[in-house]
């Protein structure tokens, strides 16, 4: 729908539309009118259009629809705020979905979601295309465990690893509708280890216990399993589709490993992205020229001027992919030669298009020179940009990344946390140190975790433990600091949390709102030594150890060094 509001002003559309729509004076004063043009050859049904858009816009006031001629409809809103929201494309108060999604949902799955939708009666081309990818979407979804109340142990996909993300252990005496919440101790927010060990095969039991649980036990959430942050991407969906295709069509290719090496070499060539895309299209036989790029007169002159030695075409080379395969795989040509070869082919293709569209074509030597110059400029730009990025990273590491402990503002406190991993015995340690603005120790914590967690998950649990200790002490208005840049950026909202720690991060934000944490900061390990030492000492303790206004012997020297360095 085209927005014509900038051309047709409010309340004066009748004179522009040659009085096709009669707007009386009272209506002109009362209504706020928006014109929309529908690009269709079909006649517009006013009632059907109103029925479609009414649940999508969810206006606070009402609106009427009248015909404006030439597939133009006039929407008369009672409230100006409704008209403004529609004009600027702002989502309705009940959701932030796109207009296309809301239209499709209202028509094809009003009471369910896309995963459970059917193709319906007389579907549009758009819906047919989307529904064809439904199976792929279902294969890529899984549950992220929060409190486990919505996840069925034996039926849903909720394990973080594995091709199916589903439980394969035989169901014994439990019912088919058993929920994951039954495996969680809600009072401690921990897995019931003994129950899990008795119900699941060993490696699956370890996998379940490796799922980190947030202390706040948030709601379960469906995420995309093919990315680390749980968000859908076209690239990950393409890889999943290729994997599914390979699993259902195994044995169709004689040497898949060689083909993968060929594509890997091709995509790693130091050439512009658009040239890689051209090369992919040429190899997939979607360009009209194919191998004729070499056989035409100007093409032969360009190849000769390029100084690239190519063997005469024989019967064994029938396509551009055969030519590249011969050079990259058989002759094992270097990166530079392959890049020049592809650039010459792309330059010939561009020259052909210029001539086809009425432009002036270049001679063969001119094409070769242009391709060589273009490639050289691209390589120079890469080198300068990489140098600039390196200098920026160096500057960032020197000036912006804190390497020593700094006290909080007067009257505030700082929580320093760190985690340590012991993969050999599936254990992890957490250290927490809370200090005031003078560097005096207020509290410390040392905790051992009996679960096979990953490094990032241990760090997230350390941040959570620091917040829980501060809440337990009744502290308010402090700073949470750790040595994990990833977790720090996630808590600041700079980056999206990985799925494995998303629930824990959500719980940290909830705890932060309770104790009024004013900032999340990052410090290098050299400025986080006391917390790091406590995390390393965790294995020597059986249970949690908390010190209140008492300095643990193992970190006394590190605390003194932090204060001396101020």
CATH code of the domain covering residue 519 = 3.30.420.10
Range from 259-273, 333-347, 534-548 that averages highest in pLDDT: 534-548
pLDDT for 266-313, tens place per residue? 888 888 888 888 888 888 776 655 444 444 555 555 555 555 555 454
Last residue of a domain, one of 37, 62, 96: 96
Please work out, in degrees rounded to the nearest 5, the angle formed at the alpha carbon of residue 246 by the alpha carbons of 165 and 144: 20
Q: What is the mean pLDDT of residues 230-248?
A: 84
pLDDT at 221: 92
Domain annotation covers residue 293 = yes
Beta bridge partners of 481: 416, 521
| Alpha carbon separation from 174 to 153, 170, 180, 204 (Å, rounded) | 10, 10, 12, 17
The pLDDT value recorded for residue 300 is 57
One domain for residues 145 and 90: no
Residue 384 in any domain: the answer is: no
Q: For residues 533-553, give the mean pLDDT.
A: 90
The answer to the question of residue 340 being in a domain is yes
**Domain final position from 333, 351, 377:** 377
Q: How far is CA 392 from CA 384, 483, 494, in A?
A: 12, 21, 18
- Residue span of the structural domain in which 60 resides: 2-96
Q: Which of 68, 96, 124 is the last residue of a domain?
A: 96
| 229, part of any domain | no
pLDDT of 360-412, one tens digit each? 777 878 888 888 888 888 887 776 655 555 554 454 454 455 678 899 988 89
Query: Quick check: 447 pLDDT over 80?
Result: yes
Q: Measured between alpha carbons, how far is 7 from 16 in angstroms, rounded to an integer?
A: 10
The residue-averaged pLDDT of 446-455 equals 89
Phi, psi of 166 (to 5 degrees): -115, 160
Looking at the structure, do residues 366 and 422 belong to the same domain, yes or no? no
pLDDT-derived band of residue 458, with 50, 70 and 90 as boundaries?
A: very high
Residue 129 lies in a domain: no
Shared-domain flag, residues 498 and 456:
yes
359 and 417 together in one domain = no
Q: What burial letters (b/e) apply to 369-378, b meaning 16+ CB within 10 Å?
A: bbbbebbeeb
* Mean pLDDT of the region 404-428: 89
Considering the domain architecture, whether residues 420 and 539 belong to the same structural domain is answered as: yes
The average pLDDT across 329-348 equals 81
- For residue 6, the model assigns a pLDDT of 41
With pLDDT > 70 as the criterion, what percentage of the chain qualifies? 75
- The string of DSSP codes covering 60-119 is SS-EEEEEEETTEEEEEESSHHHHHHHHTTPPPTT----HHHHHHHHHH-TTS-GGG---
The torsion angles phi and psi of 262, rounded to 5 degrees, stand at -65, -50
Q: In terms of domains, do 166 and 308 share one?
A: no
User: Do residue 431 and residue 540 come from a single domain?
Assistant: yes
**Residues 83 and 205 occupy one common structural domain:** no
Does the pLDDT value for residue 15 go beyond 50?
A: no
Distance in angstroms (rounded) separating the CA atoms of residues 102 and 90: 13
Q: How many CB atoms lie within 10 A of CB 277?
A: 11
499 and 366, same domain (yes or no): no
Q: Per mean pLDDT, which of 28-37, 55-64, 183-192, 285-294 is the most reliable?
A: 183-192
Region 197-224: mean pLDDT is 91
Number of domains in the chain: 4
DSSP label at 428? E
Q: Are residues 351 and 431 in the same domain?
A: no
| Nearest CA among 390, 420, 413 for reference residue 525 | 420
Task: Say how far apart CA 227 and CA 236 lie, in whole Å.
Answer: 7
DSSP annotation of 549 reads S
Specify whether 89 is located in the same domain as 6: yes
Give the tens place of pLDDT for each residue, 179-192: 999 999 999 999 99
Q: Name the range with the highest mean pLDDT among 58-72, 172-186, 323-337, 461-475.
A: 461-475
Local structure of residue 228 (DSSP, 8 states): T
What is the reported pLDDT for 56? 66
> Has residue 142 been placed in a domain?
yes
Share of the chain above pLDDT 90, in %: 27
**Residue 69 confidence (pLDDT):** 66
Q: What is the mean pLDDT of residues 116-144?
A: 88
State whether 423 and 560 are in the same domain: yes
Q: Is residue 394 part of a domain?
A: no
What average pLDDT does range 462-474 have in this prediction? Answer: 93
Report yes or no on 213 lying in a domain: yes
- 98 close to 108: Cβ distance less than 8 angstroms: no
């Amino acid at each position: 729908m085209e927005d014509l509001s900038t051309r047709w002003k409010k309340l004066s559309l009748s004179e522009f539309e040659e009085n096709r729509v009669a707007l009386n004076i009272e209506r002109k004063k009362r209504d706020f009118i928006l014109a929309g043009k529908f690009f269709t050859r079909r006649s517009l049904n006013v009632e059907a259009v109103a029925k479609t858009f009414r649940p999508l816009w969810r206006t606070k006031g009402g609106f009427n629809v009248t015909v404006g001629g030439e597939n133009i409809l006039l929407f008369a809103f009672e409230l100006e705020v409704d008209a403004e929201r529609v004009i600027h494309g702002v989502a309705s108060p009940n959701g932030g979905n796109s207009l296309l999604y809301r239209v499709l949902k209202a028509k094809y799955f009003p009471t369910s979601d896309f995963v459970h939708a059917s193709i319906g009666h007389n579907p549009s081309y758009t819906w047919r295309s989307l529904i064809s990818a439904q199976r792929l979407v279902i294969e890529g979804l899984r549950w992220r465990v929060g409190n486990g109340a919505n996840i069925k142990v034996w039926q849903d996909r909720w394990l973080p690893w594995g091709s199916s993300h589903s439980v394969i252990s035989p169901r014994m005496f439990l019912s088919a509708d058993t929920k994951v919440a039954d495996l969680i101790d809600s009072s401690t927010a921990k897995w019931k280890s003994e129950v899990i060990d008795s119900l699941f095969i060993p490696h699956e039991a370890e996998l379940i216990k490796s799922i980190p649980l947030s202390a706040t036990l948030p709601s379960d959430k469906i995420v995309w399993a093919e990315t680390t942050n749980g968000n859908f991407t076209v690239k990950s969906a393409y890889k999943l589709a290729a994997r599914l295709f390979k699993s259902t069509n195994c044995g169709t290719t004689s040497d898949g490993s060689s083909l993968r090496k060929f594509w890997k070499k091709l995509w790693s060539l130091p050439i512009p992205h658009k040239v890689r895309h051209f090369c992919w299209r040429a190899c997939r036989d979607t360009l009209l020229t194919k191998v004729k790029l070499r056989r035409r007169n100007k093409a032969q002159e360009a190849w000769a001027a390029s100084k690239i030695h190519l063997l005469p075409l024989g019967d064994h080379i029938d396509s551009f992919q055969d030519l590249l395969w011969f050079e990259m795989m058989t002759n094992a040509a270097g990166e530079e030669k392959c890049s020049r070869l592809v650039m010459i082919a792309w330059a010939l293709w561009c020259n052909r298009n210029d001539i086809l569209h009425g432009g002036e074509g270049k001679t063969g030597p001119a094409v070769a020179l242009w391709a060589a110059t273009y490639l050289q400029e691209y390589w120079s730009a890469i080198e300068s940009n990489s140098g600039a990025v390196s200098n920026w990273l160096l500057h960032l590491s020197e000036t912006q990344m804190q390497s020593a402990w700094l006290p909080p503002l007067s009257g505030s406190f700082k929580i320093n946390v760190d985690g340590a991993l012991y993969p050999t015995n599936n254990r992890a340690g957490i250290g927490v140190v809370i200090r005031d603005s003078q560097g005096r120790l207020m509290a410390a914590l040392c905790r051992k975790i009996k679960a096979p967690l990953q490094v990032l998950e241990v760090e997230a649990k350390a941040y959570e433990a620091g917040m829980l200790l501060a809440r337990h002490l009744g502290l308010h208005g402090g700073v949470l600091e750790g040595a994990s840049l990833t977790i720090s950026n996630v808590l600041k909202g700079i980056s999206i949390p990985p799925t494995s720690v998303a629930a824990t991060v959500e719980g940290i934000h909830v705890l932060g709102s309770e104790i009024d944490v004013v900032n999340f900061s990052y410090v290098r390990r050299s400025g986080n030594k006391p917390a790091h030492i406590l995390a390393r000492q965790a294995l020597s303790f059986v249970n949690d150890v908390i010190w209140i206004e008492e300095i643990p012997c193992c970190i006394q020297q590190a605390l003194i060094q932090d204060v001396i360095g101020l």
